[in-house]
Amino acid sequence: MDVVDLMDLCLSLPHAIDETPFGPDTVVVKIGGKIFAIIPLDTVRPQVSVKADPEHVIEMREAYSEATPAPHMSKNHWIRMYTDGTIPRDVIVQRVRTSYQLVRDSLPRSVAREFEAQ
């Protein structure tokens, strides 16, 4: 998956928005003001960092050499996946969707109700 595919996937999820709070070289994808994906644009290899349950972080790192700790994020709750190699596309898609759902489920009720009303 290249950067365009990653962006399309992330922004296809309901109420997802993209921002560049760290400068033009890093896209942050959020729901309700909370990050669920980070996509650097200035790297040689396409990659995405996503939130995950700690057990999934461990599973991914054990199963794929191209799944590593996400830079500058909690090593227990975030995983970086290089998306141009051995990690299957369906695994990447599932991890992005799971990250989105984890963050959406953690939103304050008032924010969640706004989304439900739309």
Residue 115 lies in a domain: no
Q: Is residue 114 part of a domain?
A: no
Whether residue 116 is contained in a domain is answered as no
Are residues 86 and 65 in contact, defined by beta-carbon separation less than 8 angstroms?
A: yes
Say if 118 falls within a structural domain: no
Let me know if residue 49 belongs to a domain: yes
In a domain, 79, yes or no: yes
Task: Identify whether 93 is part of a domain.
Answer: yes
- Residue 76 structural domain: 3-109
Per-residue pLDDT of the chain in tens (118 residues, 90 and over written 9):
999 999 999 999 999 999 999 999 999 999 999 999 999 999 999 999 999 999 999 999 999 999 999 999 999 999 999 999 889 999 999 999 999 999 999 998 888 777 776 6
DSSP state letters, 8-52: HHHHTSTT-EEE-TT-TTEEEEEETTEEEEEEESSSSS-EEEEE-
CATH number of the domain that residue 105 is part of: 3.90.1150.30
What are φ and ψ of residue 82, in 5° steps? -80, 130
- Look at residue 69 and tell me if it is in a domain: yes
Look up the pTM and report it. 0.93
Number of folded domains that form the chain: 1
Predicted pLDDT of residue 118: 67
Q: How far apart are the first and last CA of the chain?
A: 31
